[in-house]
Structure 1
Amino acid sequence: MSETDPERAYHYGVMRRAMEIIDAADASLSLEDLASQLGMSPAHFQRVFSAWVGVSPKRYQQYLRLGHAKSLLRERFTTLDTALAVGLTGSGRLHDLFLRWEAMSPGDYARHGAGLEIFWGWFDSPFGLTLAMGTERGLCGLAFAAETGAETAMADMRARWPKAQFTEAPMRLRGWVEAAFAQKGETQLYLIGAPLQIKVWEALLRIPSGHVTTYSELALAVGAPKAVRAVGTAVGRNPISWLIPCHRALRKSGALGGYHWGLPVKRAMLAYEAAQCGEAGP
């Protein structure tokens, strides 16, 4: 089913269980304690952690605690420029990954994918089983099925473009997907959404990795300061999760807010990026 490193889904499963254990603990847990509760040897657990994010379990615990979102707002909050350009072409960077993107015209979007061929395939990723979709022009969808299940993820993505022709062809997408999760190389994106949605997704691309912003800041950035609810809906409808980083949008209170593919995935993404950013330094 998957086209990338098969260990990644297993690693995400370990992280998912580790998050629950760490959140339930009153204090930091030792490597031995965590490994024991996960039914693993300390050496194996350490290896899985290092393979997933490159830091020790002890160091990583601070990035998994529920209060981490609030600390991100205090220390790595990004104020987006209210004069943000809202053209429908642009680029963004994710570590060493260069994104080139273009958007479907509003008229084409209104046709719900009629006349469009969308290729799809399943892949393993650092955040569990992932459904990728794309056209000749680039990736148009990334869905994470670890929390929702594969059938739900597939149905969700197909419903976004109900009149499109869907063709299973993972090899057509493999290069873009591998670049996306290796965070190296170039990935092309083809954004399929309504005009407001695309403006919001463009604003999300301006948030640096390891940083966060708020839904109200996003509303200011797209020139709709009173439309926070509509902006939040557009964030939630982002079809290319991870690359268009909707996981970096939080509530002003420091609460995570929602996440279409499950809050554990959002927390894992934030922790993954924060840990890498912290290890790399400012």
Structure 2
Amino acid sequence: MNEQEYLNYGRIANAITYIKEHYKDQPSLNEVAEKVSLSPFHFQRLFKEWAGVSPKKFLQYISVENAKKILDVQNSTLFDTTMEIGLSGTGRLHDLFVKIEGMTPGEYKNGGEQLIINYSYAQSPFGIVMVASTEKGLCHVAFIDDEEKAFYGLRKRFPNAKYYQRVDQSQVNALMIFANDWSHISNIKLHLKGTDFQLKVWDALLKIPMGQLSSYGKIAEQLQKPKASRAVGTAIGSNPVAFLIPCHRVIQASGNIGGYAWGNTRKTAMIGWEASK
């Protein structure tokens, strides 16, 4: 890291600290830029290069994370939460949650109380797979070793949802992908919860052709965030739909396989299996 990069890193670190400490005041771009002695334009560009998101988006993430902590308190209300994190009204809290979390603040607080999730287990070329779906589409695919442990992991996401162990059409369409039948791929609808950045990364993964590989750096470049390889890796690691969203097709630029949520051996097997097809 040269002297200029070190200086820029220090400025962005100070900006991140300032936003975290003053998020209740919802500081403007100009205000934060002034604190680190940069013009708003230069600060915006520099922050996106180092953090992978804009200052505004980062402030939104911080606001939502703190709102979630407040909503987790049993007797908290949406109004109390709105006031506590410095927003002007519950409408802004609603819009912020939908944009960042993919659900309303009420849905977050009730733990998916109104949500019905169907789930089932099936054999695949890479071991037993758990598939779960809502009326909107597929929400979870994971390779598992223990059914009870896998169900517990699914339940943690929406503890108050209603779960039924049954197969529906969304699951059937998804499982056809393991049988080399891609004719129903357009029928697979996804119901995903993630940040804007995560959704963009997952969308980029869907564009990697079968039998081909990409790298974390290439994905970052495709998203026009060339310095955000680490953030891309984190988003890939949060992928809730194994194989169908092909995070296994991303390896390190050095050629090393890299990490995989469902095991490096399985990732290697997937890469080889797809290459042979």
- What TM-score range do you get, normalising by the shorter chain? 0.5 to 0.7
Corresponding residue SS for 2:122: strand
Query: Please, what is the CA RMSD of the aligned residues?
Result: 2.1
Matches of 1:267 and 1:248, distance apart in 2: 10
1:1-282 correspondence to structure 2 within 5 Å: 106=100, 108-109=102-103, 111-112=107-108, 114=112, 115-145=114-144, 148-182=145-179, 183-186=181-184, 187-276=188-277
Question: CA distance change for structure 1 residues 107 and 213 in 2, over 3 Å: closer, same or farther?
Answer: closer
Higher relative contact order (CA 8 A, sep 6+): 1
Question: CA distance change for structure 1 residues 224 and 153 in 2, over 3 Å: closer, same or farther?
Answer: farther
- What is the aligned-residue identity percentage? 39
The structure that is helix-richer by fraction is 2
Deviation at 1:105, TM superposition (A): 5.1
Matches of 2:174 and 2:101, distance apart in 1: 28
- The question of whether the paired residues in 2 share the 8 Å contact of 1:219 and 1:225 is answered with yes
Deviations 1:8-40 (A, max 9, x none): xxxxxxxxxxxxxxxxxxxxxxxxxxxxxxxxx
Aligned pairs, number: 171
- The question of whether the paired residues in 1 share the 8 Å contact of 2:102 and 2:192 is answered with no
Which ranges of structure 2 fall in alignment gaps of 5 or more residues?
1-97
Matches of 2:252 and 2:202, distance apart in 1: 17
Deviation at 1:218, TM superposition (A): 1.1
Question: CA distance change for structure 1 residues 136 and 213 in 2, over 3 Å: closer, same or farther?
Answer: same
Question: CA distance change for structure 1 residues 241 and 257 in 2, over 3 Å: closer, same or farther?
Answer: same
Matches of 1:238 and 1:132, distance apart in 2: 14
Question: CA distance change for structure 1 residues 107 and 270 in 2, over 3 Å: closer, same or farther?
Answer: closer
Which ranges of structure 1 fall in alignment gaps of 5 or more residues?
1-103, 277-282
Amino acid aligned to 1:260: A
Q: TM-score of the superposition, structure 1-length normalised? A: 0.55
Deviation at 1:142, TM superposition (A): 0.7
Q: Which has the larger radius of gyration?
A: 2
Q: TM-score of the superposition, structure 2-length normalised? A: 0.56
Matches of 1:119 and 1:224, distance apart in 2: 37
Deviations 1:139-169 (A, max 9, x none): 1111001xx4333333333333444332222
Matches of 1:158 and 1:222, distance apart in 2: 32
Amino acid aligned to 1:127: F
Deviations 1:117-146 (A, max 9, x none): 22111111111101001111211111001x
Deviation at 1:247, TM superposition (A): 0.0
Matches of 1:117 and 1:238, distance apart in 2: 21
Question: CA distance change for structure 1 residues 215 and 170 in 2, over 3 Å: closer, same or farther?
Answer: same
